[in-house]
Amino acid sequence: MNIKSITLAISALLCSYSATSLAALNASTDATQQLEQMKTRVLQRIIEAQKLINDPANIEIRNGQRFLKYNGYLYPITANNLPSFMPFVDGFDYADRSAEAMFDFIQMPWKLVNQMDGVYIYNDQFGYTYLEQWDKDKQCNVQYLAGDKDLVSAASKDCLPY
């Protein structure tokens, strides 16, 4: 009788472990899919911005520097005709709001943080805060960097809900 009880207990534990592992795998897959969807939307917006940059009506020139006029903000334009997010008027607060205006589809639980030439986007439910980006064991974000060869990239290492 004890052998049957032990066998039954071990089987129950293994089933429980399998269910937990499957749930974690599903959460990771869902997170990865959401990251890829966000990456696609960010890339689409950058392509839209590039089209706007090609229209002189959307350009303002200040002190020889070209800026894209979009959603009530001015965005410095790189040599490759890409919008940049350097703070240039009212400091970092202005820059954060200008990035939010450019990527106005980003809503909670997604969060957006400025970088000197782009933005960093993460999901508050399975991502991590910007200051934790140096933790190489957990990479779960989307980045747009005007100077990066990939332009928009997604990292999905250990994307599990908190």
Residue 23: pLDDT band with limits 50, 70, 90: very low
**Model pLDDT for residues 77-116, shown as the tens digit of each residue:** 999 999 987 644 444 455 567 888 899 998 888 888 877 7
Cis omega (within 30 of 0) on the bond before 109?
A: yes
Q: Residue 118 pLDDT more than 80? A: yes
The whole-number pLDDT of residue 85 equals 77
Average pLDDT score, the chain:
76
The whole-number pLDDT of residue 90 equals 43
Q: Residue 36 pLDDT more than 70? A: yes
The answer to whether 127 touches 138, Cβ cutoff 8 Å, is: no
Over residues 55-59, the mean pLDDT reads 97
Q: Residue 53 pLDDT more than 80? A: yes
What are the boundaries of each domain within the chain?
31-157
Q: What is the DSSP string of the chain?
A: -HHHHHHHHHHHHHHHHHHHHHHHHHHHHHHHHHHHHHHHHHHHHHHHHHHHHTSGGGEEEETTEEEEEETTEEEEB-TTS-B-----SS-HHHHHHHHHHHTTT--TTEEEEEETTEEEEEETTTS--GGGTT-TT-EEEEEEETTSTTSEEEEEET----
What is the C-alpha separation between 41 and 142, in angstroms, rounded?
A: 11
The whole-number pLDDT of residue 48 equals 96
Q: Residue 137 pLDDT more than 90? A: no
As given in the structure block, the two tokens for residue 66 are 């070209």
Over residues 66-71, the mean pLDDT reads 94
**Model pLDDT for residues 144-161, shown as the tens digit of each residue:** 888 888 889 888 777 776
The whole-number pLDDT of residue 70 equals 93
CA 79, 82, 87, 92 torsion-angle sign: negative
